[in-house]
Amino acid sequence: MTEMSKEEKTEALQDVFYGQIVFIWARWIVIFSTLFLVLRNAQNVADIQIPMIPIGLLIVANFYLHGRFVMRQPANPILLTIATTIDFIFITLVIVLGAGGGTGIDNPFFVLYFPVMLAYSLVFPRRRTLVMAFLLIVVYFLICLLLPPRISIADGDEKVLAVRIVMLLVTALLGTMYWRIQRMRRRGKDT
């Protein structure tokens, strides 16, 4: 690995600072979508109590990130990577536990992966983003493969899964392409 120049370090810090707001909004999308899901499926107060604990923790963490942004104290890349990982774990638990109807391939809340993946890809370089995307794709593939209802070739589930995996990869790639374009613009080069 080569040592980063001072200019490259400054650019990386700018990426994190300006991209932090994208992380914050992506997390709000996940929080409000999950909150809607919990409230929609609740039959009584007891159905809300347990799911509200992780949602509350995500809200507190997001307010922390939002506060840092407002105070012009950007999160560092490690903190944003940890936050993204927590978001992916949270969404994966929603899918595994069957919140919103169905588990695995039948759970519609796989779409929550997209705003978080896009936010990550808009801030970090392609290599780092693709590693995160690869890990997410492997986990989602295993969930769909192992959890009932398992992938059914007769129902065409393998095609649905393939499209979802390609869409996750394309989201990561398009985000990194945009990241590169913005970086070149900041450097004053034509795109």
Residue extents of the structural domains in the chain: 6-187
Per-residue pLDDT at 14: 79
Chunked in runs of 10, what are the mean pLDDT values of the chain (191 residues)?
Answer: 75 81 90 86 79 86 88 87 93 82 83 94 92 97 88 83 96 92 76 44
Per-residue pLDDT at 185: 84
**Distant-in-sequence, close-in-space partners of 137: CB < 8 Å, separation ≥ 6:** 165, 168, 169
Per-residue pLDDT at 189: 61
Per-residue pLDDT at 131: 96
Per-residue pLDDT at 119: 93
Per-residue pLDDT at 147: 86
Per-residue pLDDT at 120: 94
